Homo-oligomer: A and B are copies of this chain.
């Protein structure tokens, strides 16, 4: 146990998911924004949150449409995600500039990012102005997942998606598998049966 420094409060939580938030404006224009201030907030019904600065074009589009896509970033998309995090959709067509594919969603009008291994289609349920950021709490209406991440039993292996993470100013890949939920108390054979149900 190391010596501790006590600091004033700061946003030093990690690793955080690195995502591209997709949205569509009232004029039909699609936009992309990089975010890491997001997370799951409820299992049933499945809900997530994402926080966006009010001055961002994405906040304008999400407020107008009540919808957005959350597209996970693979390690080989980090340069594009970084660029989308520092540039504004008011000045660039980010899909075109990054060579990313706008894929139709199944339940929302916003596009998804075709290159993302996993995309979540979301509709806004709550909106809280917290300070520098607006917190959007949204229902996850549908998920689009690369077929090659799913095994023959229908189980998703997220570890194979090669996802990137955000760690306090740095992008990181995901490392080795350290175990499955319940490994400290259960036999794997039982877990496997449960996950197939």
Contact = CB atoms under 8 A, between A and B. Distances in A.
Interface of A: 1-17, 19, 36-49, 51, 70, 72, 75, 78-80, 82-83, 85-87, 101, 103, 106, 114-115, 117-118, 120-121, 126, 128, 130-133, 135, 137, 139-148, 150, 156, 158-159, 163-165, 167-185, 195
A42 B142 CA distance: 26
User: How many copies are assembled?
Assistant: 2
Nearest to A47: B130
Contacts of A165: 15, 165, 174
Contacts of A15: 15-17, 163, 165, 174
A187 B5 CA distance: 31
A1 B106 contact: no
B185 A1 contact: no
A50 to B, nearest CB: 9
A184 B140 CA distance: 31
Given A4-B103, A10-B143, A16-B39, A178 B118 contact: no
B158 A167 contact: yes
A172 B159 contact: yes
11 contacts: A2-B117, A3-B148, A11-B140, A14-B72, A14-B158, A14-B163, A42-B51, A79-B183, A85-B181, A156-B168, A172-B177
Contact of A42 (B3, B16, B130, B182): B130
